[in-house]
Amino acid sequence: MQAIVETLFDTVYLITVITLGIIMIRKNNGRKQYQLFGIMAVILGLGDSFHLVPRALALCTTGLENYTVALGVGKLITSVTMTIFYILLYYVWRSRYHISGKNGITAVVYLLSALRILLCLCPQNQWLHANPPLIWGIYRNIPFALFGLLIIILFLQQARQHHDTAFQYMWLTIVLSFGFYIPVVLWADAIPMIGMLMIPKTCAYVWTVVIGYRAMCSEN
């Protein structure tokens, strides 16, 4: 039952975000923010597929223990693409609110992103092992969480300042995605049921993409 439900959920998720992303890329009418949003959504879907597709195959066939390498590589790729996702979201913020300058913020964005990716690439993560060390899961997610916090603050401030009803909950989608993700990183190995929080985390990302898509449709 878990295999069927999880596979169906992941399939709908991947198809939804990639499809919405392609639509935004094709029908943004030259508006940079929606072109970026579309690329962001496609990268989100494709990046997650590297982990979710092997997981679905594992659940539907011989089990997760026989797909350790594929799942590990998929997690690494997903970790990098999620970082790129937030870089693009930062540029959506700049484009939507016509932000110029702010070189200090941009520097922080790239510093945290580079640190996150470098930590993900460290061999100490042991991506290809069945039981990778928890401490490195914490290390690599510290700059990621700080990056997420920065994006939350930026969208919250600008949406309120501009009375931007279309993006008024963008900050909340990011809060929810990290709020559901962090417990999984910390405790999922010890308490497997906590891994179920990845479902609402995924829903939060879908909400993020839907916000961009609906905003584009309302302006067309």
Give, as one character, the DSSP assignment of residue 89.
H
Residue 5: the pLDDT is: 87
Q: Which residues touch 55 (CB under 8 Å, ≥6 apart)?
A: 6, 10, 64, 67, 71, 74
Which two tokens mark 94? 């700049």
Give the pLDDT confidence score for residue 187 in this predicted structure. Answer: 86
Which mean pLDDT values do the consecutive 10-residue runs of the chain (220 residues) have?
85 96 94 95 96 90 86 95 97 95 95 97 94 93 96 96 95 96 86 87 96 92
**Distance (Å, whole) CA 196 – CA 70:** 21
Tokens representing 20 are 């919405």
Q: Report pLDDT for 140.
A: 96
**Category of 13 on φ-ψ map: left (φ > 0), alpha (ψ -120 to 50) or beta:** alpha
Radius of gyration of the chain from Cα atoms?
A: 18
Give the separation between CA 17 and CA 47, rounded to whole angstroms: 11
